[in-house]
Structure 1
Amino acid sequence: MSPRRPPGPPVRALPGLLRKLAVDRLAMMRDAADLSDAVLVSMGPKKLYVFNRPDYAKHVLADNAANYHKGIGLVESRKVLGDGLLTSEGELWRAQRRNVQPAFKPGRIAAQAGAVAEEAGRLVEHLRRGAGRGPVDLLQEVTGLTLGVLGRTLMDTSLSGHDGIAHAFEAVQDQAMFDMVSQGLVPSWLPLATQRRFRRARRELTDTVDALVSDRAARMTAGDGATDAFARMIIAARAHPDPATGRRLLQEELVTLLLAGHETTASTLGWTLLLLARHPHVRDTVREEARSVLTEGRLPEAEDLHRLTYTTQVVQEAMRLYPPVWILPRVAQGPDEVGGYEVKAGADVLVCPYTLHRHPDLWDDPERFDPGRFDPSRVANRPRYAYIPFGAGPRFCVGSNLGMMEAVFVTALVTRDLDLTVRPGHQGIAEPMMSLRMRGGLPMTVRPADRLPAPRAAAAGAGAA
C-alpha cells in the first residue's frame, strides 16, 4: 500500500493560519490537532507536517531520529546559540553531548542536592522577608533561583551580578520567533525595536560569556576541580585543533547552557505555583506531604526526592499542561513514511507536546489539573510517548533529572512555608516562544503559611550518591 497524503486545511484557511503562526501559535497547533493526528499544511512550496500521536512522535524523535534535524524556530535561534548543544547536528552534536554527559550522571546530580536545597531555602527566606509588601513577580524570583542553581551545580560559578542574562534571553527568543514568522526575509540591519533589543542582548551575552570563561579558566589554572559541565567545555575548547573555532564553540555552548539550564525549569516552576494557587485542595496535599517529609523546617536531601511522591506528581502534571519544551521542530533530511503518511525530503515536521499532552484518546478530561494521573498505577497503562515534556530519543534533555529535582524541592519548600495568592485579574496566559513562557510574569502576594522553624542545612555528607 503506497503512503497516504495527510489531510490539511483548505487553501482559503491559509491566511488565518499564517496569522495564527504570528500571533497565536498554540491555537494553530490546537486547530491542527482537531483536524487529524497527521496534518499537512502547504504554503506554496513549503510543506509543514504536524504529527500528534505517540507512535508518530516515537518514529520522528527516536526510531528514525537521524533523518530529522532541528527545524523551524531553532534554526533561527542559531543567530545567538550558534552550534551549541541545542542546535548543533551530527558528529559535532555527538561530541558535545559526550563531553557534558558525565556532569549529568545520576550520582553527580544527587551530590548536588544540597546546593539545590540551599538555593530553594534562600528563595523561601527572601519571600518570607518580603511578605505583606504587595505583589511579587514569582516568575522573576524563580528565574533568579534557577540561574543560581545552574551556576552552582553545572558551572562551579556564581551568577550573581549577571541578572541581565534572563532579560537578554527574552530578547533572543523574541527575535527567533520574529525570524520564524517572517521566514528570515526582514533584513537584520533594519532598525526595528525587536532587532535593536536583540543586538543589545547579543552584545550583553557575549560580554557575560567572556567574563565567565575568563574567571572559570583562571580558577582551573589555579587548581580548581574540573568535573562540572562548564569546565569540561573549556577543556574541550583548549583541545580543539583550531583555537579560533574552539573559542567560538565554547562561547556558543556556554550561551546554550545558560539558556537551557535555567529557562525550562523557571517556566515549570511558574506554572506549578500558579496551578497550586488555583487549586487549594492540591496545594494543601502538597503542604501536608512536605511537612511530613521535611520535618522541623529542614531542607530536603537527595533521598527526599523519592519520598515527595505527590509533589513530584504535581510537577509532572504541570508539565503535562504546560510543557516547557512545547514544540519539537524537525526538518526531514530525506523522504520518509510516518504512520503510513508520506513525508517529503526537506519538509518541516512538528511534534507538539502541548497538544499531545491534551489528546483526548490518551488523557481523560485533558484540560483538568489532576496530579493523580501520574500515580504509578495509572502511568503503567499509558503509551510511553504520550508524555514527552523533555523531548525524546537521542536528543532527550540531558538535564532532565536536575530539572526535576530542582522543581520538586522548590515546590515542596515554598508550599510548606508560604501561602501564595495570584493577583486578581492575572490570567496566566501561555506565550509559546522557545519555551512556554507566562505572559506578564506571575504577580502573587506572599504570606507565611504559619510559624515554622527557619530552614536549616542538611546534615554533613547528605546528598552524596
Structure 2
Amino acid sequence: MSARPPGPPLTALPGLLRKLAVDRLGMVRDAAALGDAVRVAMGPRKLYVFNRPEYAKHVLADNAGNYHKGIGLVQARRVLGDGLLTSEGDLWRAQRRNVQPAFRPARITAQAGAVAEEAARLVASLGAREGEGPVDVLREVTGLTLGVLGRTLLDTDLDPYDSIAHAFEAVQDQAMFDMVTQGLVPSWLPLRTQRRFRAARRELTRVVDALVADRSSRLRDGDGADDALARMILAARGHADPRTGRRLLRDELVTLLLAGHETTASTLGWALHLLAAHPRVRDLVREEARGVLGDRVPEADDLHKLTYTTQVVQEAMRLYPPVWVLPRVARRADEVGGYAVSAGADVLVCPYTLHRHPEFWDDPERFDPGRFDASRSSSRPRYAYIPFGGGPRFCVGSSLGMMEAVFVTALVTRDLDLSAAAGHEAVAEPMLSLRMRGGLPMTVRTVR
C-alpha cells in the first residue's frame, strides 16, 4: 500500500499558507526543508510538493498524460486562453506540431545573425548611456528579447509595440492574485489589480490584432513562409470553424509573446546581475568573448565555442530558473516515488528548490558556473536540472533562448562594465516567471 507524503506540523501550516500569498519562494523552500515529498492541505484541496529528480521525471515525463497544467497557469487562462502554455490533449498536440518547424535546429541556426544584430544594438544603446547614472538594464534586455522574438519568430518589427511588456506585468499580477484567492474574488470587482488586468487585456488584443493583420497582408498560401506567426495564421485559415480559428490564433500569439520574451529577459537580468557581483567570473567571460569573437559579433558556430559563457547562463538559470515552478493537477490517482497522490490533487515540481537540492549540488547557494563543466556534471541526474521543464512539454524555444542569452552575455561583458546601483538589492519576484522586483538599475562603463 502506498504511503501518504508527510505534511507540515499543524503549527507550521498557517505560516505555509500565509507565504503562499506573500512569499511564494519562502513557501516552496519551507516545504522542501520538510522533505522531498510533502502534502499540504488547503481546505478541501491537497497540494503535493515533490523535490527529487526521479519524482520530477515521473510527473513531467513518465506519466505526463496524467497531469494537466495547474495553479497559476490555470488562472492565466483568463488572458492566455488555449495557447501552447495552457492547452491540453489533442489541441495542445496539434498546436505543438504546427509551430515545431519554426524551432527546428537548422532554422534557429539561420537566425544567429538576427540575434547577434539585436545584441549589438543593445550594447550600443547601453554604451551611449554611459555617465547618465543608473540605467534599468532589465528594461533594456526586455526590449532586446522582444526585438529578437519579432525578427526570428514573427517576421515583424515589435519596436512600435513597447506596451507589450507592461501589459504582461499586469497579466502576471492578476494570475497570481487569482491563484492566491483560488478564483473566489469576482472578476467584475473594481480592484486596482483587476482594473489593470482588464486594461492590459484590451491592449494585448489590440496589439495581437494589429500583428495578425500586418502579417496576413504579407502572407499568401503556399509562399513557403516558415515563421511561427505565419504557421499560426495558416492554421487558423484552415480551421473548420473560422471563429474558433481566430480565437485560437489570438490565444497562441499572446502566449508566444509572453513566453518568447519574458523568460529570456529574466535569465539575462539574473546573469548580468550575477556577473556584476562576481568580477572574477566576469573577467573570465570577457576573456573568452575576446578570444572567440575578437571585435566582431557572434556567428552561429561561435555558440559552441563560448563554453564558459554558456556555463554562466546555465548557472544563472540554476539559481534563478525563469520558470520557477511547474504546477500540475493529477487527473487520476497516482503513485510518485512510493507516495500516493489523490485524483484532482495539485502537484508542484519546483525547479527553484530542485536546483538547490544539496544531494545533487555542492554548496548549492553559491554561484559557480564551473559546476556545468562536463567533468563535474556527467553523473548528475538529468532531472536535477530542468530550467526548460521536461517530458513532452519541454520548452519548444529552448535553443533560441540559449543562443540569445549566450550571445548577449558575451557581447555585453566584452564591451561594457555593468555595476549594481548603490543601495539596490536584486529581489526575486515569483510570478509566472521568476522576474526581478523593481527592475535592475546599473551604471554603465565602456571597456576601453
The TM-score with structure 2 as length reference comes to 0.99
Q: Deviations over 1:52-74 (max 9, x none)?
A: 00000000000000000000000
Q: Distance in 1 between matches of 2:425 and 2:388?
A: 25
1:158 is matched with which residue? 157
Is 1:210–2:209 an aligned residue pair?
A: yes
1:454 is matched with which residue? none
Q: CA deviation at 1:14?
A: 2.5
1:285 is matched with which residue? 284
Q: Distance in 1 between matches of 2:255 and 2:51?
A: 28
1:400 pairs, out of 389, 398, 401, with 398
Classify the secondary structure of the residue corresponding to 2:12: helix
Structure 1 unmatched runs, 5+: 451-465
1:117 is matched with which residue? 116
Q: CA deviation at 1:190?
A: 0.6
Classify the secondary structure of the residue corresponding to 2:127: helix
2:239 is matched with which residue? 240
Q: CA deviation at 1:222?
A: 9.8
Q: CA deviation at 1:371?
A: 0.2
Classify the secondary structure of the residue corresponding to 2:55: helix
Classify the secondary structure of the residue corresponding to 2:417: strand
Map 1:124-273 onto structure 2 (within 5 A): 124-221=123-220, 225-273=224-272
> Is contact 2:16–2:30 with CA below 8 Å preserved after alignment?
no
Q: Distance in 2 between matches of 1:265 and 1:290?
A: 20
1:332 is matched with which residue? 330
2:352 is matched with which residue? 354
Q: Distance in 2 between matches of 1:293 and 1:225?
A: 35
Q: Deviations over 1:303-351 (max 9, x none)?
A: 0000000000000000000000000000000000000000000000000
> Is contact 1:14–1:43 with CA below 8 Å preserved after alignment?
no
1:380 is matched with which residue? 378
1:314 is matched with which residue? 312
Classify the secondary structure of the residue corresponding to 2:425: coil
Q: Distance in 1 between matches of 2:117 and 2:297?
A: 7
Q: Distance in 1 between matches of 2:13 and 2:355?
A: 26
Classify the secondary structure of the residue corresponding to 1:220: coil
Q: Deviations over 1:211-264 (max 9, x none)?
A: 000000001149965200010000000000000000000000000000000000
Q: CA deviation at 1:15?
A: 2.1
2:432 is matched with which residue? 434
1:276 is matched with which residue? 275
1:423 is matched with which residue? 421
> Is contact 2:221–2:234 with CA below 8 Å preserved after alignment?
no
Q: Deviations over 1:151-185 (max 9, x none)?
A: 00000000011000000000000000000000001
1:76 is matched with which residue? 75
Runs of 4+ in 1 over 6 A off after TM superposition: none
Q: CA deviation at 1:44?
A: 2.1
1:370 is matched with which residue? 368
Q: Distance in 2 between matches of 1:43 and 1:266?
A: 33
* Structure 1 residues 404 and 206: alpha-carbon distance in aligned structure 2, compared to 1, 3 A threshold: same
Of 82-91 and 222-231, deviating more is 222-231
Instruction: In structure 1, give the amino acid aligned to 2:176.
Output: M
1:453 is matched with which residue? none
Q: CA deviation at 1:425?
A: 1.4
Q: Deviations over 1:256-310 (max 9, x none)?
A: 0000000000000000000000000000000000000011x20000000000000
Classify the secondary structure of the residue corresponding to 2:2: coil
Q: CA deviation at 1:369?
A: 0.2
1:459 is matched with which residue? none
Classify the secondary structure of the residue corresponding to 1:303: helix
> Is contact 1:75–1:87 with CA below 8 Å preserved after alignment?
yes
Of 216-225 and 180-189, deviating more is 216-225
Instruction: In structure 2, give the amino acid aligned to 1:359.
Output: H
> Is contact 1:48–1:348 with CA below 8 Å preserved after alignment?
yes
> Is contact 1:5–1:342 with CA below 8 Å preserved after alignment?
yes
Instruction: In structure 1, give the amino acid aligned to 2:82.
Output: D
Q: Distance in 2 between matches of 1:12 and 1:197?
A: 37
Instruction: In structure 1, give the amino acid aligned to 2:367.
Output: F
Q: Deviations over 1:365-422 (max 9, x none)?
A: 0000000000011110100100000000000000000000000000000000000000
Q: CA deviation at 1:10?
A: 2.3
Q: Distance in 2 between matches of 1:179 and 1:90?
A: 24
Instruction: In structure 2, give the amino acid aligned to 1:332.
Output: A
Q: CA deviation at 1:43?
A: 1.7
Instruction: In structure 2, give the amino acid aligned to 1:46.
Output: R
Q: Distance in 2 between matches of 1:194 and 1:18?
A: 21
Q: Distance in 2 between matches of 1:226 and 1:14?
A: 54
Q: CA deviation at 1:83?
A: 0.2
Give the root-mean-square deviation of aligned CA atoms: 0.9
Q: Distance in 2 between matches of 1:99 and 1:379?
A: 34
Q: Distance in 1 between matches of 2:374 and 2:237?
A: 46
The TM-score with structure 1 as length reference comes to 0.95
Structure 2 unmatched runs, 5+: none
> Is contact 1:172–1:201 with CA below 8 Å preserved after alignment?
yes
Number of residue pairs matched? 448
Q: CA deviation at 1:16?
A: 1.4
Classify the secondary structure of the residue corresponding to 1:95: helix
Q: CA deviation at 1:17?
A: 1.5
Instruction: In structure 2, give the amino acid aligned to 1:294.
Output: L
